Amino acid sequence: MTMHVNVLAWIYIGCAILTGIVGFVMLFASRLITTLPIPWPPEMPPAIVPFIGSIVVFAGLVTIVMAGAIAAAGIGLLQYRNWGRILAAIMAVFLVFKFPVGTAIAIYTFWVLFSDEGATHYKARSGAVAHAEGHATA
């Protein structure tokens, strides 16, 4: 089961990198929307272009924040932290809606973290890590 947790963690980190790239592309696209001389239809109000740019900026920032949370979940899983397991489960709920790849990642997440064998393994390793850290600081 250790292999599955490690694979899941690296999938999360890879997914975070790709999601972050998409977020930065959205930020770049928002600048293009507002600055390039795009031939907009004449019946469109002139105030709509900055509004569309603002919406794209907001969506890009939300995407970058999601990428950070997904990366944090992957790092938490690699280190067998309790918060990593919780954050990975929360991010899996969001990933379900990114059909088909995100849905597959979410199903794999639920299987690895919530199956009887997976939950027992993760809790045992998480406890061992917490116990080892307790002795290292004492």
Asked whether residue 57 is assigned to any structural domain, the reply reads yes
Asked whether residue 44 is assigned to any structural domain, the reply reads no
| Confidence check: pLDDT of 128 > 60 | yes
Asked whether residue 111 is assigned to any structural domain, the reply reads yes
Span 125-132, average pLDDT: 82
| Confidence check: pLDDT of 131 > 60 | yes
Predicted local distance difference test score (pLDDT) of residue 138: 53
Predicted local distance difference test score (pLDDT) of residue 137: 57
d(C-alpha 40, C-alpha 127), whole Å: 60
10 Å CB burial of residue 128 (0-12, 13-18, 19+) is exposed
Domains identified in the chain, total number: 1
Asked whether residue 40 is assigned to any structural domain, the reply reads no
| Confidence check: pLDDT of 121 > 80 | yes
More confident residue, 129 or 72: 72
Give the predicted TM-score (pTM) of the model: 0.86
Predicted local distance difference test score (pLDDT) of residue 127: 84
Domain span at residue 78? 2-35+49-133
pLDDT digits (tens, 9 = 90+) for 6-50: 999 999 999 999 999 999 999 999 988 888 787 878 888 878 888
Asked whether residue 89 is assigned to any structural domain, the reply reads yes
Range of lowest pLDDT (26-30, 60-64, 123-127): 123-127
